[in-house]
Amino acid sequence: MSKITMINLRHTIKRFLIKNKLWRYVEPITLRLRGISDKKIINDLAKMYSGLIKPGDLCFDIGANVGRYSMAFYLLGARVVAVEPQLKLVQEIKKRFGSEIDIVQKGVAEKEDKRRFYVCDEATSISTFLEDHKESVELKGFKDYHWSDGGEIDVTTLDKLVSEYGLPKYCKIDVEGFEYKVLMGLTKPIPYISIEVGWVEGEVEKCRALLLSKGYIQYDFLDSKDLFFKLKSANKV
């Protein structure tokens, strides 16, 4: 069997599993077989961030999912605020950390409000507040994924989080197409910010322009999906 045939077969099997709502059970097994464990992911993240995050630093994890980034920050000695709107994922974060970090069960936007949330049944990591993002995901080959109405969820702002927990040294934002709205709620500049962008057309340039207007400069970090920004005065913080 040729390599191309094998790839097509894997894709066919995956589509079948997704269509029948079975992929969420199979995916963890495939990752383990490939040697990709939760522990390895966290350790790799901690190694990657070790040059930036030091003991005692405050870090915000916006769109924390199950808390892998939060755990990497925690292992480096940081104080962590994990923000995640999905109750099921918040419960997983609580199991992982107990009371060792601050956990906020809300979304983040440009103002305090309630927003409708769209849950991807097969991949909670791509659930979103942005309907355009859901449509973009479907256009990029995930049309078999099932989406549920997550209802109206409370959202806060970065400024509000800063006023409650303090100014973080670093803020990671991964909110599936809602990054621009999150950044609009920031008027108290954070020294270092990273955002994962790319699903929604034009989102990269919008986010980049907004951060540049707030006094940030862009420099390389993480991978091709992420943009990492440093405040021009960050070296003085």
Does 222 have pLDDT greater than 90? no
pLDDT digits (tens, 9 = 90+) for 125-145: 778 877 766 666 654 556 667
Q: What percent of the chain stands above pLDDT 70?
A: 72
Answer for the pair 72, 97: CB distance below 8 angstroms, yes or no: no
Does 218 have pLDDT greater than 90? no
Local confidence band at 11 (pLDDT 50, 70, 90 cut-offs): low
Q: Is the pTM of this model over 0.85?
A: no
What is the mean predicted confidence (pLDDT) over 16-41? 63
**Every domain range in the chain assigned CATH 3.40.50.150:** 37-236
Does 172 have pLDDT greater than 80? yes
Residue-level pLDDT at 169: 96
Does 221 have pLDDT greater than 60? no
CATH code of the domain made up of 37-236: 3.40.50.150
Local confidence band at 54 (pLDDT 50, 70, 90 cut-offs): very high
